[in-house]
């Protein structure tokens, strides 16, 4: 580890201070401090819109060792990233690898962070920090660089979906069948997954009135923050449930789907973020290892009689999916599209495709 960079520190709302060294942009920021247990995939994770407003702690000790790929496009989407920019407020790591090595790397992680004006800290005991977050729960915090003092800001008080959603509809033309993707902070790989299946995807803003659009299926995407702030989306989905058009909710989308049925959601103590979350399919002994990034969950006890819990988390028993008993409506709390993480549950996209007439 090189220590020629200026000193920086991570300060939590309980007063805890974690000193380290600065890399990336030399600025001070505030946000919600969360941790990710994934061992790889930092370019995908950092561009995941679900992390909007958060300071991300990587529990894997070495980050930056394979650099960052270039901005190449395929099907009008960035090929190696999940959105057009870095979405996190800042990153916290134990050891930063300045010397990267990978056939596809075009720049260092620090250079990439500077391009997007995102600060990072290395040299921190991320194990101790993660244990604190697991014990006390997710906390607000701030990255202090160059002794520039700032106030704590709670990003969950804002409508984060509005910040990350597109402003105007975008059409990704492929096959004859068309899917509406309600963009609450959608990851690019959701779109890629359906383009590979020869579907045309119409991506619309989070509050777009998609009910008048001609479509064969509806997907409600992942995204950041409290699902209850997606009031217009919830209203639109509630109306869409009156029809038999297939609906799939992913992560935040599953929570929105549940709220549209009249069920409730709540904030988890520290959330699920990583690529190794075990999920059990209800009524079976089958366990799937899944990719996840969420801080809220559906209260299964509040689901209406014609809905049931589809999956649950084997670590803490919280809801990981919901399904209607007779209609083609279902949602998963985990990410079938992965990116990063295992793609063991991508078969759920095929299940959604089969439900389309």
Q: Which residues are catalytic?
A: 251, 335, 337
Query: What secondary structure, in 3-state letters, does 226-254 show?
Result: CHHHCHHHHHHHHHHCCCCCCEEEECHHH
Helices (H), the chain: 42-46, 109-115, 126-136, 160-164, 188-196, 231-240, 252-261, 347-354
Q: Which two tokens mark 160?
A: 């984060």
Cα 191 → chain centroid:
15
Burial 59-87 (b: 16+ CB within 10 A, else e): bbeebbbbbbbeeeeeeebbebbbbeebb
Q: Which two tokens mark 36?
A: 């990710």
The answer to whether the bond into 2 is cis (omega within 30° of 0) is no
Nearest in space to 290 (alpha carbons), one of 300, 277, 280, 271: 277
Helix, strand, coil percent values for the chain (each to nearest 5): 20, 35, 45
């Amino acid at each position: 580890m090189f220590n020629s960079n200026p000193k920086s520190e991570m300060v939590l709302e309980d007063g805890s201070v974690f000193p380290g060294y600065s890399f990336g942009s030399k600025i001070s920021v505030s946000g919600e401090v969360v941790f990710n247990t994934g061992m790889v995939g930092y370019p995908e994770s950092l561009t995941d819109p679900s992390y909007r407003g958060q300071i991300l702690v990587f529990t894997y000790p070495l980050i930056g060792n394979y650099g960052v790929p270039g901005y190449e496009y395929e099907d009008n989407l960035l090929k190696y990233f999940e959105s057009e920019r870095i979405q996190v407020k800042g990153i916290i790591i134990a050891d930063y690898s300045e010397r990267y090595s990978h056939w596809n790397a075009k720049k260092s992680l620090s250079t990439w962070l500077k391009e997007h004006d995102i600060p990072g800290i290395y040299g921190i005991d991320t194990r101790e920090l993660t244990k604190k977050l697991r014990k006390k729960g997710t906390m607000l915090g701030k990255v202090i660089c160059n002794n520039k003092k700032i106030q704590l800001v709670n990003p969950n008080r804002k409508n984060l979906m509005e910040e990350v959603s597109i402003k105007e509809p975008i059409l990704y033309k492929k096959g004859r069948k068309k899917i509406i993707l309600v963009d609450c902070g959608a990851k690019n790989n959701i779109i890629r997954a359906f383009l590979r299946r020869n579907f045309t995807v119409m991506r619309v803003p989070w509050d777009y009135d998609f009910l008048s659009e001609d479509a064969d299926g509806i997907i409600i995407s992942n995204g950041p923050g409290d699902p209850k702030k997606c009031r217009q989306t919830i209203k639109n989905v509630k109306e869409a449930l009156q029809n038999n058009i297939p609906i799939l909710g992913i992560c935040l989308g599953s929570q929105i789907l549940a709220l549209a049925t009249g069920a409730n959601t709540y904030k988890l103590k520290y959330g699920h973020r990583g690529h190794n979350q075990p999920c059990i399919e209800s009524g079976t002994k089958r366990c799937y290892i899944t990719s996840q990034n969420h801080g809220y969950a559906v209260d299964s006890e509040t689901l209406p009689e014609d809905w049931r819990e589809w999956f649950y988390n084997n670590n803490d028993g919280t809801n990981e999916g919901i399904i209607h008993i007779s209609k083609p409506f279902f949602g998963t709390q985990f990410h079938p599209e992965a990116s990063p993480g295992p793609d063991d549950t991508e078969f759920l996209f095929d299940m959604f495709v089969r439900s389309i007439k």
